[in-house]
Amino acid sequence: MQFASEQLSMTAASDDESLVAQQTTGEDRVHMVATQLSEPRTANWIADEADWSHEPTTRVLQRLVDDGVVRCDDSGPHTTYYPEYRRQAIQEAMAIRDSGQSAEAVTETLTELKSRVRAWEAEFDVDSPTQLRATIANDDLDPEAEQRRAEIAREWAHTQRRIRIVGFALREWEFLAPTTDDPAATG
């Protein structure tokens, strides 16, 4: 089961058209790149991905920081940016709730995700993606097995995040329900 945010990124990643060819503005492209980051990146990296110059990219990133959409870390040698994961998680939970699927179908997805994690735990006799990454140091693994473990560790970490978001959506199912109330009428 894919949710709106996953479908968007998969569509963007699989399209032959670049973001520029899709006639998006530079600001739109910076916003798309910055909110879909899986790890902190510099403004230069984001500018390259968005096919836009550094100066306006930095201005847009600062606006996104000010708006609470992305976070900024200037503690290292280079300032990096990454999505505000809490806000992103709430938006993803709302997208799950708004997807039109029943709570039962979303529960089934949660069960499938947890089953995947249990299978990895059993296959590799570890309890986390970090422990799986540590097994790559084993001398008896060939490069193919090392690469497979690294890929599974990445997928496992992503699956754990999905489990937390889907679980949150289910716990807050009623709260996340779209409202038809007109806020002006209740004020």
**Does residue 132 or residue 19 have the better pLDDT?**
132
The DSSP bridge partners found for residue 73 are: 80
User: What pLDDT digit, counting tens, does each position of 28-81 carry?
Assistant: 999 999 998 878 999 999 999 999 999 999 999 999 999 999 999 999 999 999
Just give the CATH number of 19-83: 1.10.10.10
In the chain, where the domains are located: 19-83, 87-171
Confidence of residue 182 (pLDDT cuts 50, 70, 90): low
The two beta strands, 70-73 and 41-42, are unpaired
User: What pLDDT digit, counting tens, does each position of 96-115 carry?
Assistant: 999 999 999 999 999 999 99
**Does residue 8 or residue 156 have the better pLDDT?**
156
SS3 of the chain: the string is CCCHHHHHHHHHHHCCCCCCCCCCCHHHHHHHHHHCCCCCEEHHHHHHHHCCCHHHHHHHHHHHHHCCCEEEECCCCCCEEEECHHHHHHHHHHHHHHCCCCHHHHHHHHHHHHHHHHHHHHHHCCCCHHHHHHHHHCCCCCHHHHHHHHHHHHHHHHHHHHHHHHHHHHHCCCCCCCCCCCHHHHC
User: What pLDDT digit, counting tens, does each position of 154-173 carry?
Assistant: 999 999 999 999 999 999 99
Q: Indicate whether 14 pLDDT > 60.
A: no
pLDDT at 181: 62
pLDDT at 21: 55
Confidence of residue 2 (pLDDT cuts 50, 70, 90): very low
